[in-house]
Structure formats: C-alpha cells, structure tokens
Amino acid sequence: MMLWNLYFMLKLYLWLSGRLEPLWVTNIAFALALAVTAFVRGRQWRLLRTLIGLAVGLPLMYREAVVPPFARLVEELGAMAHFSMQYWLELAPRFVPPFMLGAAGIVVLLYLVVNRWARVSTLVSLRSSSRRSGRQGIPSCCTQYPQHPRRPVARRWR
C-alpha cells in the first residue's frame, strides 16, 4: 500500500503546486479499486495488482500533468539520439532539480517512519472528514468505534 499512498500524496502535491489538473472522478474510482483489492492474498495476485495499478496510474498521471504531448517526445527522439552523455548530464538537473530528488528522499523516509505509528492511507483519503468530527485532526470514522482488540495499535522498532 505504500506505493499507492506515495502516489496519491505526490498527486496532491503536484495539484497544489499547479503542475497537475486532476480528473477527480477517475482518481476516486482508481483509489476505490485499489482499496477493494488491497486484501488480495498470494504473491502472484499482489504482483498482478501492482502491475495493473501501474498500467492505469502512470498514464493517468501523465494525462493530468501539464506537460507537452507524448507525440512531441517521439518526434524529437531522432535529434535526442545524437546528444552526448555530457550534454545529458547537463540537462538532467534542469528536468529534475537535485533539490527535488533530496526532498523526495526525505518525504519517503518520513513516510516510512510515520507509517509505523499512524495510518497514512487514512490521512490521505479522509482528509476532509476531520472537519466534521469535532476533534482536530482525527477523522470521524476513527472516533466512533474502539480499536479491534487483536490488532496492534502501533508497531515498534526492532
């Protein structure tokens, strides 16, 4: 589930920064499909779920992104094939600034730490319900029922 939490957090960040124009209904349907299939058992089925999710998620994000069409990249492949490695290394920081790579690494590390004690998927998907619950920062679905007795509240570092 970590991959999809990071995927949707990235989409929220890109939308807030103006680099993405989300198709809300499609994203909600995609998130629901991922949630319904989250309980799939078996290594082959989980791999298939991930591959199908990537096959849907990456083109969806590209469709929503504010970037030139893919056909333009295909047209320019002939010219780009003649670029030297030195020129590619000069271009790389312009497309993906080193600061962004560092920030992405920090976000992933923070996610891994926070995910041990909090359900990040709840925070990503139910952000608006905290306003209705009367408690700050706690979704209303989490304040009505006690925790299941056999489910651990928090995982500890080992």
Asked if the structure places residue 152 within a domain, the reply is: no
Q: Could you list the residue range(s) of the whole structural domain that residue 80 is in?
A: 2-143
Tens-place pLDDT, residues 29-78: 999 999 888 888 888 988 999 899 999 999 999 889 887 787 887 888 88
Asked if the structure places residue 154 within a domain, the reply is: no
Asked if the structure places residue 153 within a domain, the reply is: no
Question: What secondary structure, in 3-state letters, does the chain show?
Answer: CHHHHHHHHHHHHHHHCCCECCCHHHHHHHHHHHHHHHHCCCHHHHHHHHHHHHHHHHHHHHHHECCCCHHHHHHHHHHHCCCCHHHHHHHHHHHCCHHHHHHHHHHHHHHHHHCCCCCHHHHHHCHHHHHHHCCCCCCHHHHCCCCCCCCCCCCCCC
Asked if the structure places residue 120 within a domain, the reply is: yes
pTM across the whole model: 0.58
- Split into its structural domains, the chain has a count of 1
Residue 115 reports pLDDT greater than 80:
no
